[in-house]
Amino acid sequence: SRLPTINRMVATRHRTLIMDNGGHTIKMGWNTDENPRVIPNSIVKGKNERKRVFVGEELTECTDRSSLFFLLPLEKGYIVNWDVQQQIWERSLKGESQEESRIVLTHPNALVPAVKDESCEILFEMFGFGEVFKSSTAGLIGQCKRQSRVVLVVDSGFSFTHIVPFLDGTIIQKGVVRMDIGGKLLTNQLKEWVSYRELNVVEETFVMNECKEDACFVSLQFDKDAEIARRRGEENTMVREYVLPDFSTRQRGILRTPARTFEEEVQKIRLNIERFSIPEALFNPSNIGINQMGIAECIVHSVNRCPENIREALVQNIYLIGGNCKFANFQQRLLEEVGSLVEWKVSASGDMEGEDPVERGWRAGKRLVNGGSIERRFVTKEEYAEEGEEACARAFLHFHREDVERERRI
């Protein structure tokens, strides 16, 4: 590995920004912060405030969040609109000094290089960071868990679901599996179903995303829950009303059991089987017409592409990150389904308790920085000026490529 330069040795005394750049939100904070800021990764225009756009966390200043139009820098998990991304970063870093600072940035290109990456150019030349380290969000977890030798990271977020196996902190590339199902698709599916059955909410992406978060859960017994949802009256314990926000007295919707008494007119939608059918798409994509394996099958497929002598250890150290992991019963259902498909005991990583799955990547980055384990992995501004993207590719793209090589390392 490369020896630290004088500049790098000096930089360790300066603070480091950790920025987990997700498709839905950016988790951003310095290595000295206890918690990250969670910032919408979008530029938003509201129908009732035509003269203004809301960049990043300015969305909290929008008084009417109905019928919002979103301009997103990421598509299918990759940054494709760099101008939009730069504007959001600029607003998020407003008032912060980047001089003599470093940054840890998550970027899916560090997992599966697929699109042109302009992040180093922007971070060095536009923002003036002295050093940059890039990794996928899963990669931060994998490096943080090096002491376990092997870990299987399940990253189920806004744009996709990735299954990523690690050996000694390095990605086993052959075992990486991607599902094209994430929170955005689930929200769109909920909008479509509610619009078809009850009320046109096609333009209410923001409100229906909150509705999904508040109302949906993963079923542990899908057929039984579906039978309950078909019952009438009080025998149907699944049905709920979601009272939509009016953005004067209510800024967020309210989930409740159906009201039996007359009340003042409120706009509401009835949710029944949708509550657990939406997250079910993660486990059975064919239910919504997507011809892909479910998340449990993807995990088994990933494990079977890894060296045989680490497969058992992988399924006994599953680490969950991403917003979809917040669905009630998600972890239990996932472990049960994987357990039914393999011959070994299946378990989740023991150090996830009490952490928000959305913030786990950021917290892993903070631990890596403060523990000094990635100290030599940063690329300096001088190295980038001399070698350009080659310096970044050499520093950040590390994979176990051949089974033979992996077997030799165990």
Question: What single-letter DSSP state applies at residue 134?
Answer: E
Q: Tell me the CB-side half-sphere exposure of residue 64, using CA atoms within 13 A.
A: 9
Q: Is residue 51, in this structure, part of any structural domain at all?
A: yes
The residue range of the domain holding 216 is 183-280
Instruction: Name the residue among 164, 98, 103 with its Cα closest to residue 298.
Output: 164
In sequence order, the 6+-apart residues with CB closer than 8 A to the CB of 33 are 366
User: Domain holding 39: CATH number?
Assistant: 3.30.420.40
Answer yes or no: do 131 and 16 share one domain.
yes
pTM above 0.75, yes or no: yes
Answer yes or no: do 120 and 192 share one domain.
no
Distance of CA 264 to the CA centre of its chain: 39
Q: Is residue 320, in this structure, part of any structural domain at all?
A: no
Q: Is residue 79, in this structure, part of any structural domain at all?
A: yes
Contacts for 403-410: CB closer than 8 Å, 24+ residues apart? 403/174, 403/307, 406/167, 406/172, 406/306, 406/307, 407/307, 407/309, 409/167, 409/168, 410/167, 410/307, 410/309, 410/310
Q: Is residue 301, in this structure, part of any structural domain at all?
A: no
Answer yes or no: do 70 and 192 share one domain.
no
d(CA 101, CA 96): 10
> What 3-state DSSP class applies to 164?
strand
Print pLDDT tens along the chain (410 aa): 444 443 444 344 568 999 999 999 999 999 999 999 999 999 999 887 778 899 999 999 888 888 899 999 998 888 999 999 999 999 999 877 677 789 999 987 655 666 788 888 899 988 989 999 999 999 999 998 888 889 999 999 999 999 999 999 889 999 999 999 999 999 999 999 999 998 999 999 999 999 999 999 999 999 999 999 999 988 989 999 999 998 888 889 999 998 766 566 788 999 999 999 999 999 999 999 999 999 999 999 999 999 999 999 999 999 999 999 999 999 999 999 999 999 999 999 876 767 899 999 999 999 999 998 888 889 989 988 888 878 877 777 755 554 434 443 43
Q: Is residue 227, in this structure, part of any structural domain at all?
A: yes
Q: Is residue 247, in this structure, part of any structural domain at all?
A: yes
> What 3-state DSSP class applies to 380?
strand
Answer yes or no: do 130 and 17 share one domain.
yes
Last-in-domain residue among 251, 280, 309: 280
Count the domains in the chain: 2
Answer yes or no: do 16 and 118 share one domain.
yes
Q: Is residue 254, in this structure, part of any structural domain at all?
A: yes
In sequence order, the 6+-apart residues with CB closer than 8 A to the CB of 305 are 172, 174, 175
Cβ-count burial of 90 within 10 angstroms (0-12 exposed, 13-18 middle, 19+ buried)?
Answer: middle
The Cβ of residue 207 has, within 10 Å, a number of other Cβ atoms equal to 23
Answer yes or no: do 10 and 117 share one domain.
yes
Answer yes or no: do 265 and 385 share one domain.
no
Answer yes or no: do 61 and 122 share one domain.
yes
Q: Is residue 152, in this structure, part of any structural domain at all?
A: no
User: Domain holding 267: CATH number?
Assistant: 3.90.640.10
Last-in-domain residue among 280, 300, 328: 280
Instruction: Name the residue among 322, 318, 299 with its Cα closest to residue 106.
Output: 322
Answer yes or no: do 275 and 393 share one domain.
no
Which CA distances in Å does 257 have to 53, 229, 289?
37, 14, 31
Q: Helix, strand, coil % (nearest 5) of the chain?
A: 40, 20, 40
Strand-pair category, 131-135 with 102-106: parallel
Last-in-domain residue among 229, 255, 280: 280
